[in-house]
Amino acid sequence: MTSRLDPATIDLLGVLAYGELTAFERLATDARLAPTISDKHALASMAAAEFDHYQRLYEHLRDEGVDPEQAMAPFVGPLDAFHDSTPPNDWLEGLIKAYVGDGLATDFYREVAVFVKDEPARALILDVLADTGQASFAVAKVTQATLADPKVAGRLALWGRRLVGEALIQAQRVAVERDALTELLVGGSMDLAGIGRLLTRLTDNHTARMKALGLQT
């Protein structure tokens, strides 16, 4: 199959598509832990929105002459490994994972999207990276829980740190294995100082999210 899209853009669409598919599964699974029907409703609605994003990426790849499954395949290992190594123990950990984990991923993808030359692909990527409501929902629920029982804050702060650690391990694995994708970010367009600034931006945003949850980094 031939496509007018370059390998890096196909990689980015592929990792995003599989990311949305697993986000969908995870949110829907976490909905089972929801303490009330209304929480379940909220989480299931977010999951359905992630599936809609997945479907749009899938169809875009297909319309561009790319086999979506082949595009997703290289990222199944790293993304499954991330989720397998970070199963939430309860409802709150699930919410934090949805907010903090997806937030970190989204920030990163948005930085990479700047370098995508193809206009329709870039527009679609920025569009599916839009928040589906996790942020405000997670902040409200976690704040409520830590106010009711300040002791849980320590455990949840540790959990946030662990999520970042596991995400970095898998991101590094992808960086080593997917030359085109790494090249997009590092090659030409960004020097070492630029990468340093990128990491600072990602860390700052992560700290801001943990602070919004009332948790230490």
- Interface with a second copy by CB under 8 A: which residues? 18, 21, 24-25, 28-29, 31-32, 37-38, 40-41, 44-45, 47-48, 51-52, 54-55, 58, 69, 72-73, 76
- Judged by beta carbon, residue 69 or residue 118, the one nearer a second copy is 69
Nearest-approach distance from CB 29 to a second copy, in angstroms: 5
Nearest-approach distance from CB 14 to a second copy, in angstroms: 10
Nearest-approach distance from CB 41 to a second copy, in angstroms: 7
- Judged by beta carbon, residue 58 or residue 137, the one nearer a second copy is 58
Nearest-approach distance from CB 17 to a second copy, in angstroms: 10
Q: Please count the other Cβ atoms lying within 10 Å of the Cβ belonging to residue 112.
A: 20
Between CA 6 and CA 20 the distance in angstroms is 21
- Judged by beta carbon, residue 81 or residue 190, the one nearer a second copy is 81
148, two tokens? 């009711």
- Judged by beta carbon, residue 21 or residue 181, the one nearer a second copy is 21
Q: Please count the other Cβ atoms lying within 10 Å of the Cβ belonging to residue 165.
A: 11
What are the C-alpha distances in Å from 13 to residues 38, 72, 112, 121? 33, 8, 11, 8
Nearest-approach distance from CB 111 to a second copy, in angstroms: 26
Nearest-approach distance from CB 64 to a second copy, in angstroms: 18
- Judged by beta carbon, residue 78 or residue 160, the one nearer a second copy is 78
Specify whether the CB–CB gap between 147 and 75 falls below 8 A: no
- Judged by beta carbon, residue 52 or residue 63, the one nearer a second copy is 52
